[in-house]
Structure 1
Amino acid sequence: MKTDKFWKVRPFMNRILNGCCLQAAIEYVSIDEQMIPLTGACQFRQYVPLKPNPVSIKIFVLASADVIVLDFETYQGAKTLGLQVPDSEGLGLVALVIKRLSETLHAGTKCVVIGSLQPYKLWITC
């Protein structure tokens, strides 16, 4: 059984991700979620009724203060993300996302997690 639900487009996504990771080290970053509208049928789409486009694909994004994407992870289910992150037993979705996206941060980077990922601001210093 394939655990990566994006296996068909993974090579394309990895090329984009490699370009994102080549960005210069940035002092302040944030982790948030982005919703990409999708009307097609797929098993990993999300339905959020209060959004302008209620059916979407959820992507967790690590971005700079200038809104430059530095890293991202597509949501395929909490269990799938748990398989990708080492030492993830007992962690919730928010902790898994933070742990996964903070793997690519440089030493001294300050990160804030805001929005629906966290009801309060959480500062992380690497």
Structure 2
Amino acid sequence: MYWSEKWRVPIIIQAMTRNRFYAIRGCLAQDRPQALCVDEMIIPFSGRCHMRQYCPNKPNPVGLKVFVLASPQGIVCDMVVYQGDTTFPHLISQGFGLGKLPFCI
């Protein structure tokens, strides 16, 4: 996507070619551990964004709320940005709510 004519991102194109990126990316793959943790975190952000959340009980109360899949060592394996009701529409429409999330990741 970064190297396509329509969506070209100059800073990425100048740093690395597409073929070099794909060659390096294959070496960075890691197996997911058996024990994983699902948690939420706030990425501090005070700019204008419709996804910005306010959570008063967090150390950084204003920012982007993210659901994180992490290893016991704290390495983030995957993340999903919370976007309100549109974050997990297939689960919410079935009546499960967000409580079903840990079983589906």
Give the structure-1-normalised TM-score: 0.53
1:80 is displaced (CA, Å) by 3.4
Give the aligned partner of residue 92 of structure 1: 97
1:66 pairs, out of 54, 69, 73, with: 73
Give the aligned partner of residue 32 of structure 1: 39
In 2, Cα distance between the equivalents of 1:90 and 1:32? 21
Give the aligned partner of residue 119 of structure 1: none
1:99 is displaced (CA, Å) by 4.1
1:69 is displaced (CA, Å) by 1.2
Give the aligned partner of residue 50 of structure 1: 57
Larger Rg: 2
Give the structure-2-normalised TM-score: 0.63
Contact map agreement 1:46 1:56 (CA 8 A) in 2: yes
**3-state secondary structure, aligned to 1:98:** helix
How many aligned positions are there? 80
In 2, Cα distance between the equivalents of 1:89 and 1:49? 30
In 2, Cα distance between the equivalents of 1:72 and 1:82? 17
Q: What stretches of structure 2 of length at least 5 have no aligned partner? A: 1-24
Runs of 4+ with deviation above 3 angstroms: none
Q: Percent identity?
A: 43
Contact map agreement 2:51 2:64 (CA 8 A) in 1: yes
